[in-house]
């Protein structure tokens, strides 16, 4: 039942390596001559091309309300694009095999199984190694890309900078975000503690959010800015971003927080810096300190 | 043939069960009947002369023989929420669009310290003030809030932003009460605000007046009690 | 059975027996589902009344809630659990052991349901085949219940212009749907198929601990009733994950949820130990690991992961219960507790749990495909490596659910690494499936057609998981409908459809009838098409920015939700048709031969219906399980021309 191979017969002085096997490149060329090999490669490429527009469609879905409105969001979109492209080869290959197995290789229906018709391939070292190497390389690429991107976003704005150690960036705007069932309030400590329920930001001005909650866990999600962090009671979490586009965007709560969780939305107004300052003054925020 | 029949039966019975349960529960949890603001005359506002509508709401600390509690979907909820505060007579409010609306709150409950001092101030009214027992103020002390009436955003970007938050003053602990336990002289708060184009909003109280964790459970999470809908039509 | 003999003849051997007390089975003759109900309802009522009397009227808990409902409900739940298990005879075994009254062979045969007919399905029966059928029915009920809730959820989301249900009820719909489906999916393969098929597949007569087997099933039943009861006490309003402190605002229904999990964790723990010991020690003579079918590996892996992971979940609910009843503050940050403690405990289960669901389903596929392609499984060792890799990594990835919690941003890096890495062993399993399809002549019957659906869904689910594993992308996607669509693709698209393939495959052995393929296929493919519509559209909604667990949302998401709802109704119809196919085939289907698929695996070598002891003589295994097929035709051609490729025809 095992496939024929050309092992040495155990006589002494016989060469170890099989000598009557065709050279490797020749074997690859002969394999490619097999009809199913060619068809599956063609199908893979075809399905791959059919899947490629997804990369743009995914971005189109994300950009319907004005995104990207910050570098962070642009990075995220670029990552989605790249990940889609990187995932396509293996996905297309798997789909190609699924398709060809129904259309290319024989199939039978009815009450009796097709006995003794399929080749008893127990394994294929080349196939296994190739798959492992390709999937590992792709996975590592995605990991390295992701780690690098995360480091970059963190260095600029995200997560690890405690409120009292935030850089002496005179430019930066600090907003204390408080989530409460079921309203967001935003306090501007640099503007006399001005508190609003709509988030006002200035274009091209970095902003650090210190986020907390008065009751249960909420999640502060500035959708088009690509910023998200849990609002935990009893703790302050930080994130940051620099909006680079004026307009009206959305803050939504992304962690179930009770009855009116769906209604815990508010607007972000990104304004030109001068407009921002005058608006702050209008609302009683005094001069920027 | 028998098999096809059984399969068909399974589908029909399944669909019937789903539909039945959906309808039953939807009806059971219907919001309280709508309370509409009455339009009466016009009012001069910074945005011109607009029709003027009025609405009156009361807040009771608990139900009594005189004031029945709001309807609840089940007997369990009725037991669970007995003795809790509620808005009366309804929490489904309707006000006219592009009008000046005045809401009068009669507040019978006590109160205390509000968690977020933002809600001790009034927001979203016509001139940024409210009238408390005849006196015009911009807010209350955070320690003497009874409840709030906070209308906030419905997740619908095509309707205008609308935010209104009114702190309702508490009755002192030693206030004189009548035989039902309600203060004889409740707090009276009046606000006037301007509505824009039609839209649907929700409102709830932001003062911890319920039970469970941070007193934001119970009636605070039940429509008909301390939360409801607010429609601008 | 005579009560006086001191030996019993067991397969031709005279085995000395302990003293027979009374009729075979003893008191178990009188105990059944009915007495269980009497015990459960009775003790629950007594406990409730006593607690009610002891609670001062008008008393409040520490959080100002009425105390009576809380304490009475908890007492009722405890009374139900203990009373039902006592009433059905779960404690009889330990009591007999304490009293020194060992089971005789006649007792054991009685407990295994010998000659009891249909009644054995309603007793504390130890025969693994009976437990398998009990699990099958229970799983269909639980999944059906979850499906009903899903239809209600999608109705609410489809009616975008109004609130069909009140927001609090909607929250409890999604919470109960989640936990019902999770429980259903955990047991859908591990319950019916692992219990019924695996012992026969390894050539054993029963499991290592038959009474624990019965115990695990009835504990599941008890837990399911606890969950149903919570619906009447305010429901599970905080998602199936019940983050604290939100869970501390919930009505008493939350106690029902906590008891459900505590009891269910015992059920799965007991079942896991049973399965693992059975697989390790009771494989037939000659069944070395390389001759053990993949399903056995998959079931073992799932049991192992469940065993180490479920205690975290159980523990989190015990702490939550303690917070609620005894006013401790494990999860109350204002009193020194930590919200992140709960999240970590929960996700330490929550992640391995999805592998508990998906690995048995993938293993079932690997049983099906060699039979229907008449080829050996492609690279058996690679499949085992994939399963081992998943198990090894499963405990190292949980905090990818916590990227956005701000818990420990520095650990986001290693968790991103481990999460991306786990896609590799999962990929091994996909390769084994398509490798077995490679150059195979397929016998297009329902079980193998379902495999195509599963692999398609698994690829989409896996790739979308890769997006989510990247922390910056998760900054957009976490808490949005994208996540919901991803896990439905994995758990339902790959998990549930795989289980359906397994049920279709093992139906002839378990019920003695053939599943009607036409109706079954119509049901399956209708559900498949509906599934793509529903969750494909849900990806779009998530990308557009719709958060999860919301009942009303921006107009922007309307179209995606309408499409999803129509797709969901299609899934509902498809699943009902499949259910109809199962019920009608069970009742009126063609009688099945003992090996309709021509499989070489041990379980198909028994007659149908499988006799009580499974095998007259325990088998000895001499060959690998997937030895189908003929020598490679291409290789034969090559050899015919002595390797001179220029002479090969094609």
Highest average pLDDT, of B7-11, B62-66, B159-163, C564-568, comes from C564-568
Q: Is C165 on the interface with B (CB under 8 A)?
A: yes
Query: Which of A181, A196, A258 should one mutate to test binding to chain B, selecting the residue with the greatest count of B CBs within 10 A?
Result: A181
- State in Å, rounded, how far the first CA of chain B is from the last one: 56
Looking at per-residue confidence, does A161 or B54 come out higher?
B54
Q: What is the pLDDT of residue A3?
A: 46
pLDDT digits (tens, 9 = 90+) for A73-122: 998 999 999 999 999 999 999 999 999 999 988 888 888 888 878 888 88
Q: Which residues of B touch A260 (CB under 8 A)?
A: 202, 204, 227
Q: Is B221 on the interface with A (CB under 8 A)?
A: yes
- Angstrom distance (rounded) from CA B105 to CA B57: 5
Whether the Cβ atoms of residue A185 and residue A191 lie closer than 8 Å to each other: no
Q: How confident is the model at residue B181 (pLDDT cuts 50, 70, 90)?
A: confident
Residue appearing with tokens 């990940």: A83
Question: Between 2.60.40, 1.10.287, 1.20.1070, 3.30.750, what CATH number should domain B32-232 receive?
Answer: 2.60.40
Q: What is the pLDDT of residue A22?
A: 64
Q: How confident is the model at residue B87 (pLDDT cuts 50, 70, 90)?
A: very high
Q: Which helix (H) or strand (E) holds B78?
A: helix B75-80
Check C580 against B11: CB less than 8 A apart. yes
Q: Which two tokens stand for residue C415?
A: 């968790």
Q: What is the pLDDT of residue A14?
A: 52
Chain C, window 488-547: residues with a beta carbon less than 8 angstroms from a chain B beta carbon: 516, 519
Residue from the list A178, A260, A265 with its beta carbon closest to the beta carbon of B227: A260
How many beta-carbon pairs below 8 A join chains B and C?
137
A195 bridge partner residues: A187
Kindly identify which residue of chain A lies nearest to residue B162, measuring between CA atoms. A266
Check A62 against C545: CB less than 8 A apart. yes
A173 bridge partner residues: A207
The mean pLDDT value for C80-93 works out to 94
The mean pLDDT value for C329-344 works out to 92
Chains sharing 3 or more CB pairs under 8 A with chain C: A, B
pLDDT digits (tens, 9 = 90+) for C398-435: 999 999 998 888 888 999 999 999 999 999 999 999 99
- Angstrom distance (rounded) from CA C637 to CA C640: 5
Question: Between 1.10.10.10, 3.40.640.10, 1.20.210.10, 3.30.930.10, what CATH number should domain C126-605 receive?
Answer: 1.20.210.10
Check B202 against A214: CB less than 8 A apart. no
Q: What is the pLDDT of residue A165?
A: 57
Check C421 against A128: CB less than 8 A apart. no
Check B161 against A250: CB less than 8 A apart. no
B181: three-class secondary structure by DSSP: coil
Looking at per-residue confidence, does A88 or C115 come out higher?
A88
Check A260 against B155: CB less than 8 A apart. no
Q: Which residues of A touch C463 (CB under 8 A)?
A: 87, 91
Task: Give me the CATH code for the A163-282 domain, please.
Answer: 2.60.40.420
Check A265 against B123: CB less than 8 A apart. no
DSSP string, A85-114: HHHHHHHHHHHHHHHHHHHTS-EE-SSS--
Domain ranges of chain A: 24-106+124-156, 163-282
- Angstrom distance (rounded) from CA C382 to CA C398: 25
pLDDT digits (tens, 9 = 90+) for C524-543: 999 999 999 999 999 999 99
Q: Phi then psi for C51, rounded to 5 degrees?
A: -65, -40
C118: three-class secondary structure by DSSP: helix
Of all residues in chain C, what percent carry a pLDDT higher than 70? Answer: 97
Chain C, window 323-352: residues with a beta carbon less than 8 angstroms from a chain B beta carbon: 332, 334
Q: Which residues of A touch B155 (CB under 8 A)?
A: 252, 262-263, 265
**pLDDT < 70: residue spans in chain A:** 1-22, 155-170, 286-289
- pLDDT score of C575 more than 50: yes
Residue appearing with tokens 């911890």: B208
Of all residues in chain B, what percent carry a pLDDT higher than 70? Answer: 100
Cα of C339 vs its chain's centroid, Å: 28
Residue from the list B4, B6, B213 with its beta carbon closest to the beta carbon of C63: B213
B212: three-class secondary structure by DSSP: coil
- Angstrom distance (rounded) from CA A75 to CA C6: 79
Structure-derived torsion over alpha carbons of residues B189, B192, B196, B200, reported in degrees to the nearest 10:
10
Q: Phi then psi for A233, rounded to 5 degrees?
A: -70, 145
Q: What is the pLDDT of residue A16?
A: 56
Check B217 against C579: CB less than 8 A apart. no
ipTM value of the model?
0.93
Alpha helices (runs of H) in C327-445, residue ranges in sequence order: 339-373, 380-394, 412-437
Q: Which two tokens stand for residue C105?
A: 């062979």
Cα of C91 vs its chain's centroid, Å: 25
* R_g of chain C, CA atoms, integer Å: 26
- Angstrom distance (rounded) from CA C511 to CA C197: 12
Residue appearing with tokens 């006399």: A192
Q: Is C48 on the interface with B (CB under 8 A)?
A: no
Domain ranges of chain B: 1-30, 32-232
pLDDT digits (tens, 9 = 90+) for A135-157: 999 999 999 999 888 888 776 55
pTM, two decimals, is: 0.93
The mean pLDDT value for C444-459 works out to 94
Q: What is the pLDDT of residue A160?
A: 45
Nearest to B149 by CA among B105, B186, B118: B105
Q: Is B169 on the interface with A (CB under 8 A)?
A: no
Q: What is the pLDDT of residue C312?
A: 95
- pLDDT score of C645 more than 60: no
Q: What is the pLDDT of residue A15?
A: 54
Structure-derived torsion over alpha carbons of residues B93, B97, B101, B103, reported in degrees to the nearest 10:
10
Whether the Cβ atoms of residue A225 and residue A206 lie closer than 8 Å to each other: no
Residue from the list B8, B76, B158 with its beta carbon closest to the beta carbon of C234: B76
Nearest to C502 by CA among C54, C182, C135: C135
Shortest Cα distance from C474 to chain B (angstroms)?
22
Buried b (16+ CB within 10 A) or exposed e, C597-623: bebbbbbbebebebeeebbeeebebee
Query: Which of C61, C164, C166 should one mutate to test binding to chain B, selecting the residue with the greatest count of B CBs within 10 A?
Result: C166
Check A146 against C470: CB less than 8 A apart. yes
Q: What is the pLDDT of residue A289?
A: 47
Residue from the list C69, C332, C589 with its beta carbon closest to the beta carbon of B79: C69
- Angstrom distance (rounded) from CA A4 to CA B150: 81
Q: Which helix (H) or strand (E) holds A200?
A: strand A199-202
Check C374 against A117: CB less than 8 A apart. yes
Query: Which of A101, A163, A209 should one mutate to test binding to chain C, selecting the residue with the greatest count of C CBs within 10 A?
Result: A101
Check C374 against A118: CB less than 8 A apart. yes
Residue appearing with tokens 């085992």: C384
Shortest Cα distance from C150 to chain B (angstroms)?
10
- Angstrom distance (rounded) from CA C349 to CA C394: 10
Q: What is the pLDDT of residue A159?
A: 44
Chains sharing 3 or more CB pairs under 8 A with chain A: B, C
Whether the Cβ atoms of residue A55 and residue C534 lie closer than 8 Å to each other: no
Chain A, window 102-141: residues with a beta carbon less than 8 angstroms from a chain B beta carbon: none
Whether the Cβ atoms of residue C286 and residue C256 lie closer than 8 Å to each other: no
Whether the Cβ atoms of residue A272 and residue A202 lie closer than 8 Å to each other: yes
DSSP string, B143-158: TSEEEEEEEE--S-TT
Query: In which order are the strands placed within the sheet that holds A227-231?
Result: A199-202, A265-271, A247-253, A218-222, A227-231
Half-sphere exposure of C142 (CA within 13 A, CB side): 27
Shortest Cα distance from C237 to chain A (angstroms)?
8
- pLDDT score of C467 more than 90: yes
Kindly identify which residue of chain A lies nearest to residue C410, measuring between CA atoms. A160
- pLDDT score of C500 more than 90: yes
Q: Is B154 on the interface with A (CB under 8 A)?
A: yes
Check C152 against B21: CB less than 8 A apart. yes
Q: What is the pLDDT of residue C430?
A: 95
Mean per-residue pLDDT over chain C, rounded: 92
Kindly identify which residue of chain A lies nearest to residue B114, measuring between CA atoms. A214
B227: three-class secondary structure by DSSP: strand
Looking at per-residue confidence, does C135 or C636 come out higher?
C135
Query: Which of A31, A71, A85, A121 should one mutate to test binding to chain C, selecting the residue with the greatest count of C CBs within 10 A?
Result: A121
- Angstrom distance (rounded) from CA A142 to CA A263: 36
Q: Which two tokens stand for residue C414?
A: 């290693």
Q: What is the pLDDT of residue B82?
A: 85
- Angstrom distance (rounded) from CA A133 to CA A33: 24
Q: Phi then psi for B81, rounded to 5 degrees?
A: -100, 5
Kindly identify which residue of chain C lies nearest to residue A85, measuring between CA atoms. C463
Contacts of residue C199, Cβ cutoff 8 Å, sequence gap at least 6: C128, C205, C206, C207, C278, C282, C614
Peptide bond into C609 cis (omega under 30): yes
- Angstrom distance (rounded) from CA C308 to CA C304: 7
C519: three-class secondary structure by DSSP: helix
Shortest Cα distance from A13 to chain C (angstroms)?
22
Q: Which two tokens stand for residue C45?
A: 């009522």
Contacts of residue C186, Cβ cutoff 8 Å, sequence gap at least 6: C268, C306, C353, C356, C357
CA dihedral sign of residues C472, C475, C476, C478: positive
Q: Which residues of A touch B165 (CB under 8 A)?
A: 197
Q: How confident is the model at residue C3 (pLDDT cuts 50, 70, 90)?
A: very low
């Amino acid at each position: 039942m095992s496939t024929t191979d050309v092992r040495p017969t155990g006589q002494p002085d016989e060469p170890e390596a099989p000598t009557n096997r065709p050279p490797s490149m020749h074997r690859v060329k002969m394999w490619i001559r097999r009809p199913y090999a060619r068809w599956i490669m063609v199908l893979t490429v075809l399905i791959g091309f059919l899947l490629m527009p997804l990369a743009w469609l995914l971005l189109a879905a994300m950009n319907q309300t004005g995104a990207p409105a910050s570098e962070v969001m642009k990075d995220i979109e670029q990552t989605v694009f790249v990940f889609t492209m990187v995932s396509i080869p293996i996905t297309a290959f798997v789909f190609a095999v699924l398709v060809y197995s129904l259309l290319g290789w024989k199939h039978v229906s009815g009450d009796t199984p097709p006995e003794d018709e399929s080749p008893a391939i127990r394994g294929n070292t080349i196939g296994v190694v190739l798959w492992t190497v390709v999937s590992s390389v792709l996975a590592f690429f995605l990991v390295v890309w992701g780690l690098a991107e995360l480091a970059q976003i963190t260095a600029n704005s995200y997560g690890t900078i405690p409120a009292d150690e935030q850089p002496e960036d005179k430019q930066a705007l600090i907003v204390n975000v408080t989530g409460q069932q079921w309203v967001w309030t935003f306090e501007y400590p640099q503007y006399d503690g001005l508190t609003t329920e709509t988030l006002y930001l200035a274009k091209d001005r970095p902003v650090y959010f210190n986020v907390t909650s008065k009751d249960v866990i909420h999640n502060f999600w500035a959708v088009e800015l690509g910023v998200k962090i849990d609002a935990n009671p009893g703790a302050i979490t930080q994130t940051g971003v620099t909006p680079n586009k004026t307009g009206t965007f959305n803050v939504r709560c992304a962690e179930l927080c009770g009855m009116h969780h769906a209604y815990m939305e508010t607007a972000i107004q990104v304004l030109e810096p001068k407009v921002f300052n005058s608006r702050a003054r209008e609302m009683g925020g005094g001069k920027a300190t | 043939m028998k098999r096809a029949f059984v399969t068909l039966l399974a589908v029909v019975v399944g669909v019937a069960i789903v539909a039945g349960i959906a309808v039953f529960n939807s009806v059971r949890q219907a919001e309280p009947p709508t309370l509409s603001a009455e339009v009466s005359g016009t009012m001069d506002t910074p945005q011109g002369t607009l029709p003027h509508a009025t609405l009156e709401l009361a807040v009771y600390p608990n139900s009594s023989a005189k004031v029945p509690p709001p309807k609840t979907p089940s007997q369990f909820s009725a037991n669970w929420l007995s003795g809790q505060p509620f808005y009366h007579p309804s929490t489904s409010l309707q006000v006219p669009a592009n009008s000046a609306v005045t809401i009068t709150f009669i507040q019978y409950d006590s109160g205390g310290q509000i968690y977020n001092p933002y809600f001790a101030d009034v927001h979203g009214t016509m001139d940024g003030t409210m009238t408390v027992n005849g006196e015009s103020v911009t807010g209350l002390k955070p320690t003497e809030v009874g409840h709030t009436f906070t209308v906030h955003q419905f997740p619908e970007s095509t309707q205008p932003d609308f935010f209104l938050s009114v702190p309702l003053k508490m009755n002192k602990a030693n206030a004189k009460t009548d035989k039902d336990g309600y203060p004889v002289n409740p707090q009276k708060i009046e606000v006037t605000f301007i509505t824009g184009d039609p839209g649907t909003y929700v409102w709830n109280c932001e003062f911890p007046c319920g039970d469970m964790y941070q007193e934001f459970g119970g009636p605070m999470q039940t429509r008909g009690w301390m939360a409801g809908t607010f429609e601008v039509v | 059975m005579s009560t006086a003999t001191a030996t019993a003849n067991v397969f031709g051997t005279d085995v000395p027996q302990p003293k027979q007390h009374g009729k075979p089975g003893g008191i178990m003759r009188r105990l059944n589902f009915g007495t269980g109900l009497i015990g459960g309802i009775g003790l629950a009522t007594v406990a409730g009344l006593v607690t009610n009397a002891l609670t001062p009227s008008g008393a409040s808990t520490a959080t100002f809630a009425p105390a009576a409902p809380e304490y009475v409900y908890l007492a009722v739940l405890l009374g139900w659990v203990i009373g039902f298990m006592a009433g059905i005879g779960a404690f009889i075994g330990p009591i007999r052991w304490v009293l020194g009254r060992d089971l005789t062979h006649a007792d054991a045969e009685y407990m295994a349901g010998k000659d009891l007919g249909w009644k054995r399905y309603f007793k504390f029966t130890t025969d693994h085949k009976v437990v398998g059928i009990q699990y099958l029915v229970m799983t269909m009920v639980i999944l059906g219940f979850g499906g009903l809730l899903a239809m209600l959820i999608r109705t609410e989301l489809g009616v975008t212009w109004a609130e069909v249900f009140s927001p609090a009820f909607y929250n409890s719909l999604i919470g109960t749907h989640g936990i019902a489906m999770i429980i259903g999916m955990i047991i859908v393969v591990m319950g019916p198929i692992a219990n019924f098929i695996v012992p026969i597949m390894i050539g054993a007569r029963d499991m290592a601990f038959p009474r624990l087997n019965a115990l695990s099933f009835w504990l599941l039943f008890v837990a399911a009733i606890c969950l149903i009861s919570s619906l009447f006490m305010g429901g599970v309003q905080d998602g199936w994950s019940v983050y604290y402190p939100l869970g501390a605002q919930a009505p008493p229904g939350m106690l029902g949820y906590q008891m459900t999990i505590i009891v269910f964790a015992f059920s799965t723990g007991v079942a896991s130990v049973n399965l693992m010991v059975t697989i390790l020690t009771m494989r037939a003579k000659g069944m070395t690991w390389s001759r053990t079918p993949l399903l056995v590996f998959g079931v073992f892996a799932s049991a192992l992961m469940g065993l180490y992971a479920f205690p975290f979940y159980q523990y989190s609910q015990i702490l939550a219960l303690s917070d609620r009843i005894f006013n401790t503050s494990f999860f109350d940050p204002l009193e020194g507790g930590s919200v992140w403690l709960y999240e970590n405990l929960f996700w330490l289960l929550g992640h391995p749990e999805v592998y508990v669901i998906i690995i048995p389903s993938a293993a079932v596929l690997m049983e099906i495909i060699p039979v229907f392609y008449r080829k050996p499984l492609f690279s058996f060792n690679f499949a085992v490596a994939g399963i081992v890799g998943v198990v090894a990594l499963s405990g190292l990835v949980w905090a990818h659910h916590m990227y956005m919690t701000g818990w420990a941003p520095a650990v986001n890096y290693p968790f991103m690494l481990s999460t991306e890495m786990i896609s590799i062993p999962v990929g091994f399993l996909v390769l084994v499936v398509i490798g077995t399809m490679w150059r195979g002549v397929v016998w297009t019957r329902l079980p193998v057609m379902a495999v195509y659906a599963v692999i398609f869904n698994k690829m989409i689910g896996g790739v979308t998981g890769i997006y989510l594993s990247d922390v910056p992308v998760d900054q957009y996607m976490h808490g949005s409908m994208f996540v919901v669509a991803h896990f439905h693709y994995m758990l339902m698209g790959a998990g549930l459809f795989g289980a359906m393939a397994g049920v279709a495959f093992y139906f002839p052995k378990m019920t003695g009838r053939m599943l009607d393929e036409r109706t079954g296929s119509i049901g399956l493919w209708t559900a498949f098409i509906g599934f793509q519509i529903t969750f494909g559209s849900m990806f779009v909604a998530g990308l557009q920015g719709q958060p999860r667990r919301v009942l009303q949302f921006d107009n922007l998401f309307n179209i995606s939700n309408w499409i999803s709802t129509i797709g969901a109704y299609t899934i509902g119809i498809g699943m009902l048709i499949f259910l109809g196919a199962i019920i009608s085939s069970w009742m009126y289907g063609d009688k099945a031969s003992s090996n309709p698929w021509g499989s070489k695996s041990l379980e198909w070598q028994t007659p149908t219906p499988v006799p009580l002891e499974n095998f007259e003589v325990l088998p000895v295994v001499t060959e690998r399980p997937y030895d189908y097929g003929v020598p490679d035709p291409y290789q034969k051609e090559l050899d015919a021309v002595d390797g001179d490729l220029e002479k090969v025809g094609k």
